[in-house]
A and B are shown apart, each in its own frame.
Chain A
């Protein structure tokens, strides 16, 4: 089952869709999330979040000062300023 990913910034939802993998950098280091990950709440360090969509297409988002939550294959990347970089 694919992950349901949404990237949300303060004033709008930047992107949402299905993905196979999400790689983000937290304050502790890089973390990769696949389907079935345990519920997690992590603080993001500034940097890129890479989302591999179903089918292999990749998108990256710039997320500063935010956090990442994972629960039941729903991944939410929340940042004050977030934009897609590609």
Chain B
């Protein structure tokens, strides 16, 4: 067998093996999207109820609460970045990271200092590689987020928010995550979590719907005290679930593209290999014919 032919054959084999792997990964994430989407849907009643309650308290009370009042001057802002633990998901991680860079640039241009909270091994790697400091990080479990983690993150950022600015506290908290729009589209979403802006995208209660005048038990301030951490947690949990669903969708898309690519490679190399084989045969024939001719001439 000719050297060229051997090279093509080994390339075909390698593409076939790669394709098997990417195909398997595609199928795995396809099955996980379903589950992740169901979890997003299952947690919606909770976040809707919490959002509704918080907006009711915020609109119908004139209490000055630290979590709702805009500070006079914002000196330091925190950015919470939700990435994933694993790559192989197309632009999934680079999208959120790019969005966080853009936001950081914007905040810095407004004279604010930026601190980061990062979730997911890829984001930690990104910050580590650039030797950038981050306040705190959480890794593991981005594929299947636990409420406990959301609670931990929520407690950490609320504590940081309550801390006075002079002692290293932050005045503003932004979150960035990939929002799951459809199997094909996931968009990085930037939301300012604190100070509170309850009017938010999909979960905001209908503007036309009038909220009733509530009675509060115990006092308005206490209700708000108890509700806000819950609200923050639920927002963070929602971001984690959305991010997980988006990750699986992005992986599926990337792996499908990789499998298709492998198909293309296999096809191209098969053609080349056929060509090489044919050329080899042609050469052998012409060698035989040439040899025979030479013998005839000698006679």
A residues near B (Cβ < 8 Å) are 6, 8-13, 26-28, 31, 38-43, 65-67, 69, 71-72, 76, 78, 80
Contact = CB atoms under 8 A, between A and B. Distances in A.
B215 A39 contact: yes
Contacts, number: 83
Contacts of A78: 46, 49-50, 53, 230
B49 A69 contact: yes
Contacts of A12: 42-43, 45-46
Interface string B202-233: 00000000011111111000110011001001
A42 B216 contact: yes
Interface residues of B, number: 29
Contacts of B230: 65-67, 78, 80
A52 B211 CA distance: 27
Contacts of B212: 39, 71-72
Q: Describe A's contact surface by its main secondary structure.
A: strand
A66 B167 CA distance: 31
A41 B223 contact: yes
Interface of B: 39, 42-43, 45-46, 49-50, 52-53, 56-57, 147, 151, 211-218, 222-223, 226-227, 230, 233-234, 237
B46 A43 contact: no
Nearest to B47: A10
Contacts of A66: 230
Nearest to B43: A11
A41 B39 contact: no
A24 to B, nearest CB: 11
B222 to A, nearest CB: 7
A63 to B, nearest CB: 12
Given A10-B237, A11-B43, A39 B213 contact: yes
B218 A8 contact: no
Contacts of A80: 147, 151, 230, 233
Contacts of B39: 11
B227 to A, nearest CB: 6
A41 B53 contact: yes
Contacts of A76: 49
A42 B42 contact: no
B147 A43 contact: no
Given A11-B43, A67-B226, A69-B52, A41 B215 contact: yes
Nearest to A65: B230
Nearest to B212: A39
Contact of A39 (B49, B214, B237): B214
B217 A41 contact: yes
Contacts of B233: 10, 80
